[in-house]
Amino acid sequence: MRKLVLSDEILLKIEKPARYTGGEVNGVMKKPEEVDIRFAMCFPDVYEIGMSHLGLQILYHMFNQRTDTWCERVFSPWTDLDEIMRQKKIPLFALESQNFVKDFDFLGITIQYEMCYTNILQILDLSQIPLYAKERGEEHPLVIGGGPCVLNPEPLAPFFDLFYIGEGEVSYPKLLDTYAEMKKRGESREEFLEAAAQIPGIYVPAFYDAEYNQDKTLASFGPNRPGVPERVSRQVLTDFTNAEYPKAPVVPFIKATQDRVTLEIQRGCIRGCRFCQAGMIYRPAREKNVELLKRQARDMLNSTGHEEISLSSLSSSDYSQLKELLEFLLEEYGGTGVNVSLPSLRIDAFSLQVMSRIQDVKKSSLTFAPEAGSQRLRDVINKGLTEEDILTGAKTAFQGGWNRVKLYFMLGLPAECEEDVRCIARLAQRIADEYYEIPKERRQGKVQVTISTSFFVPKPFTPFQWAPMASSQIYLDRVRTLREELREQTNHKSIKYNWHEADVAILEGFFARGDRRAADVLLRAYELGAMYDAWTEHFHPELWERAFADTGVDLDFYTLRTRQTQELLPWDFIDAGVKRTFLEKEWQRAKEGQITPNCRQSCSGCGAAGYKGGVCVESQS
């Protein structure tokens, strides 16, 4: 019988003790002596956030299908338990076996968001694993990172033994096979890393060196030993329909952030928004067969008891078989109390027709993302959405019984001016006007338009990777401008405005495009007490200000500076499938305000066709 690491006394002291006890429905239990590989799969945030992450569930299922591997889950202890573990020197442990992470073969960390970076150091620290990879010996786990943030792994490079760049279904089997074979032969950590570096998608940062110019830009980056590849290719799953997918996801004992079954209907996006990293790095867009999706929906709902199923995609309304899938779900589960959730819809007639079928009579709010208030700026970012589309969509929604709309925008986009900011308020006013054009007897009470603005953060492998960010003060000035303009609108009482913190966005931008020198700032901030920076109540900008001062790293150099297209960027050693020449062309088209058609309208020659899958081969089949 399993023995819990935490005593009853500790569990009674902390918030939500079920975060740490394991034993959930569909959790995988194996005998340690019957497997060759122990893999601790970590999400560096609190349990409820990590358990909502689809990628973790996919890899957990995939690894545990192997008879030689036992994959277990690890999450960041919340601050109350963190304090106790440090006081009592309790090492971090995995949920399933309750064994210490430091005794595993691998610690795999999913890196979804830059503001979780201090939590990565927390995980290593609490696990009693040396923070720097160079200080680890044969007795320590191999620390491997994956996820979208590793498209620029450099700010984390000193802390990781290796990174997996791309979609885990492709090269992980080869990596685990290689490790199992070398472990049986008694080969060393260094020998395994040398072998791993030859596997497509694996990057071993210790095998590469960076040098810098006097102006602080990157002078060179490359292997420091023979046989190591100059470039690392991002791995993309082309046979998406037949990929591993959990039939019986783990069901949390406590409510997760997304407490439902998630059905991934497609991967990638055809739209080509110039600010969107996911839309670029997950190319080509690939759909899953609708008959398979029906089986997966049945399996997961039957095995979990969840009462909601979410159809996951970057742009759900672009899935070509959406109508058939929804008709199946509504017919199969319409009378059983199972709800269907469909995020990432565009504001068009088809999407609204879909929403009207899956939402009940008391309609909840509709959420859309115009991203920019003016048509000029929407063309700059290649949003592919006109004001007529937005107003027609809003009118159709209001006529269909909705009276609440949420709109997401970004401030600080390239080429943005004050007029673009004011256009956000005016667009909200025009949307409210559409509601009051409906005869009074057909309205559902008062209209409510909620505007949310985030701050633009340029990301690697997007056409805006060369763009500067605005300063924190400029961001706040733009918030003020928008608030002033909103007060001038006739229906301002029907318009609510929320905005994100500028300091968090600036720091996210620093790590998104940082190099190895950013690691010094990260470590210093952690030493000063920074942790759970993604949580507003735990983010302390003064700690980061001191970390920059103590390390002598210039924040403005990384955030406010426009990069030249000929500059060597920290992530240029990665082949992400999307060609640099395409990104440069899109950067120029953005400056000229030119729209690029989506992938189904016309091929833009981005380079993703080299994978020979998805939308790139649709016309040939």
Quick one: pLDDT at residue 180?
98
Q: What mean pLDDT is predicted for residues 173-178?
A: 98
Phi, psi at residue 264, to the nearest 5°?
Answer: -80, 110
Instruction: Please tell me the predicted confidence (pLDDT) of residue 37.
Output: 98
Residues 293-306: tens digit of each pLDDT: 999 999 999 999 88
Q: What percent of the chain has pLDDT over 70?
A: 97
Backbone phi and psi for residue 286, each to the nearest 5 degrees, phi listed first: -130, 135
Q: Are 107 and 46 in contact (CB under 8 A)?
A: no
Q: Which residues, listed in sequence order, are joined to residue 408 by a DSSP beta bridge?
A: 452
Q: What is the mean predicted confidence (pLDDT) over 226-247?
A: 94
State the virtual CA torsion across 484, 487, 492, 498 in degrees, nearest 10.
30
HEC secondary structure over 429-449? HHHHHHHHCCCHHHCCCCCEE
Average pLDDT, the chain: 94
Residue 569 tokens read as 């960027």
Helices 189-196 & 168-184 angle (0-180, nearest 10): 150
Q: How confident is the model at residue 349 (pLDDT cuts 50, 70, 90)?
A: low
Q: How confident is the model at residue 90 (pLDDT cuts 50, 70, 90)?
A: very high
What average pLDDT score do residues 174-203 get? 98
Res 361: pLDDT: 41
| Whether the predicted pLDDT of 360 surpasses 70 | no
- Distance from C-alpha of 98 to C-alpha of 145, rounded to nearest angstrom: 22
- Model pLDDT for residues 527-560, shown as the tens digit of each residue: 999 999 999 999 999 999 999 999 999 999 999 9
Residue 620 predicted with pLDDT over 70: no
Domain boundary assignment for the chain = 8-232, 260-344+580-621, 361-500
Nearest to 621 by CA among 289, 266, 269, 167: 289
Fill in the DSSP letter of residue 63: H
Tokens 């998406």, located at residue: 240
Mean pLDDT is highest, among 355-364, 392-401, 509-518, for 509-518
User: Residue 458 above 50 pLDDT?
Assistant: yes
Region 410-420 average pLDDT: 97
Architecture of the domain defined by 260-344+580-621: 2-Layer Sandwich (3.30)
- pLDDT score recorded for residue 362: 44
| pLDDT at residue 354 in the model | 72
Give the closest residue to 235 by CA, choosing from 120, 150, 144: 150
User: What pLDDT is stored for residue 353 in this prediction?
Assistant: 72
pLDDT confidence bin for 1, thresholds 50/70/90: low
Say what the pLDDT of residue 290 is.
96
> Per-residue pLDDT averaged across 20-42, rounded?
97
Mean pLDDT of 566-590: 98
What 3-state class would DSSP assign to 499? Answer: strand
Contacts of 66 (CB under 8 A, 6+ apart): 37, 173, 176
pLDDT tens digits for range 510-529: 999 999 999 999 999 999 99
* Residue 619: predicted pLDDT: 58
The pLDDT, as a whole number, for residue 359 is 61
Mean pLDDT of 79-94: 98
The per-residue pLDDT for 366 is 79
Does residue 141 have a pLDDT over 90?
Answer: yes
Q: Is 153 helix (H, G, I), strand (E, B) or coil?
A: coil
Architecture of the domain made up of 361-500: 2-Layer Sandwich (3.30)
The yes-or-no answer to whether 260-344+580-621 and 361-500 have a common fold is: yes
- pLDDT for residue 143: 98
Please state the rounded mean pLDDT for residues 346-374.
73
The predicted pLDDT at position 347 comes to 72
- Over residues 315-327, mean pLDDT: 90
The string of pLDDT tens digits covering residues 465-506 is 999 999 999 999 999 999 999 999 998 999 999 998 899 999
Q: Assign 334 a pLDDT band (cuts: 50, 70, 90).
A: confident
Structure tokens at 500: 């994100």
Confidence of residue 358 (pLDDT cuts 50, 70, 90): low
In the chain, % of residues over pLDDT 90: 83
